[in-house]
A = this chain, B = another copy of it.
Amino acid sequence: MVTMKEIAKQAGVSVSTVSLVLNNRDEGRVKSEIAANVRDIAAELGYKSNPLASSLRTGRTHILGFISEDVATTPYAGGIILGAQRAAQQLGYMLIVVSTDGRDSEAKEIAALQRYGTDGFLYAKMSNRLTGVPAALKDTPLVLVDATDEKGIVPSVEPDEFHIGYDATRRLINAGCQRIAYIGAADPIIAEQGRLEGYRAALAEAGRAFDARLVANVSNNEPALEAVSALFDAERPDGFFCFNDARAWYVYECAARRGLEVGRDISVVGVDNHLVFADTLTPQLTTVELPHFEMGYWSVAKLVSIIENSPLDDVEWPETTAPLPLLNGPMPAKIRCTLIEKESVRS
């Protein structure tokens, strides 16, 4: 590893000058030719700053901690982490991801991260839950990811749940479905409430009455299949909006057993958690894509803006697939979901 000392020697200047130049603090402090020379030598020698050494002095490690309960075990989280990592890399930070199983390991992991001088934390939960914040994180720069602070204090980045439900239901309406069922989640999470509201709003807008019999709230367990099965037979829906793709699987299974074909006899829209379905396996499923990558990216950008006390505006946005408008016409296609940013309440 080439150090500033070596560059200083080669350039015939002192280390502090090199430090000034390489940190772009040389404006009006170092003669421009010297600065240029230093930069040249640094480039030539392939100098890479040693962030650990500088952290000792500055107290900034440029390390970010990403904490999630079980997120890292699910593919769902992959995109978020990828996006977070990309943002971190572009902004000159290193992301350390830890997934904690239970309450106890969480505190331990946080402590371990803090020993490494983490500059700030991302805290992620699955499926937009209301959540408390670990005490150890109170006094650190912090952004919640796909979660909402129950006290409304900590800033967060989360999906626009209402529009997920709204867009999905609109799509089914536009596809000509007459009886649209909602296969929801049994847990009291924000995602569930928001999506259900969106479903109702879309129905109302189309002048249709809400019918509670068309709604099944199920968990990820054995009886779920029976519940969906019962709904299938009792109500004979021709459209299904599913809370996630695990729920969509139940619909697929029921359809297969009844000789119904998805895409011809019934239409299904599921929110994509990447939990169950690969695209190739379920070609007829219309998925609402959660912008996981963007969620991760945005979260890190926001965290860094807090840490560096800089505006969020000038972060470079990654090239991303163009948002797909809500189309009339045949299924399937992708529906793009938007994100919400909740500001911190404390100024």
Q: Point out residues on A near B: beta carbons under 8 Å.
A: 48-53, 55-56, 61, 63, 72-75, 78-79, 81-82, 85, 89, 94-99, 101, 108-109, 111-113, 115-117, 220-222, 224-225, 246, 249-250, 253, 256-257, 259, 275-278, 280-281, 283
In the assembly, what is the distance between CA of A78 and CA of B96, in Å? Answer: 15
Taking A52-B56, A95-B96 as known contacts, 10 extra A-B pairs with beta carbons closer than 8 A to each other, sorted by chain A number, are: A52-B116, A63-B116, A73-B75, A73-B79, A75-B78, A89-B108, A89-B112, A94-B96, A222-B280, A256-B257
Among A109, A220, A256, max chain B CB count under 10 A is at: A256
Provide 14 A-B residue pairs closer than 8 Å at the C-beta atoms, listed in order of the A residue. Answer: A49-B115, A52-B52, A52-B56, A52-B61, A56-B56, A73-B75, A74-B75, A78-B99, A82-B101, A85-B99, A94-B116, A246-B278, A249-B281, A256-B257
In the assembly, what is the distance between CA of A257 and CA of B74, in Å? Answer: 29
The distance from the CB of A307 to the nearest CB of chain B, in whole angstroms, is 17
In the assembly, what is the distance between CA of A119 and CA of B220, in Å? Answer: 42
In the assembly, what is the distance between CA of A51 and CA of B55, in Å? Answer: 12
Question: When the two chains form their complex, are residues A99 and B82 in contact, meaning their CB atoms are under 8 A apart?
Answer: yes
* Copies of this chain, whole number: 2
In the assembly, what is the distance between CA of A113 and CA of B48, in Å? Answer: 12
In the assembly, what is the distance between CA of A234 and CA of B61, in Å? Answer: 63
The distance from the CB of A110 to the nearest CB of chain B, in whole angstroms, is 12
Residues in B with CB closer than 8 Å to A276 are 276-278, 281
Contact of A111 among B48, B53, B220 (CB under 8 A): B48
Question: When the two chains form their complex, are residues B89 and A48 in contact, meaning their CB atoms are under 8 A apart?
Answer: no
Question: When the two chains form their complex, are residues B78 and A72 in contact, meaning their CB atoms are under 8 A apart?
Answer: yes
Contact of A53 among B56, B108, B281 (CB under 8 A): B56
- Nearest 5 pairs of A and B residues by beta carbon: A73-B78, A256-B256, A75-B75, A52-B52, A221-B280
Among A51, A246, A281, max chain B CB count under 10 A is at: A281
The distance from the CB of A51 to the nearest CB of chain B, in whole angstroms, is 6
In the assembly, what is the distance between CA of A99 and CA of B75, in Å? Answer: 13
Contact of A220 among B52, B94, B96, B280 (CB under 8 A): B280
In the assembly, what is the distance between CA of A103 and CA of B281, in Å? Answer: 28
In the assembly, what is the distance between CA of A79 and CA of B256, in Å? Answer: 32
Residues in B with CB closer than 8 Å to A113 are 94
In the assembly, what is the distance between CA of A52 and CA of B225, in Å? Answer: 52
The distance from the CB of A113 to the nearest CB of chain B, in whole angstroms, is 8
Residues in B with CB closer than 8 Å to A111 are 48
Question: When the two chains form their complex, are residues B222 and A51 in contact, meaning their CB atoms are under 8 A apart?
Answer: no
Residues in B with CB closer than 8 Å to A256 are 253, 256-257
Residue of B nearest to A109 (CB): B89
In the assembly, what is the distance between CA of A78 and CA of B98, in Å? Answer: 11
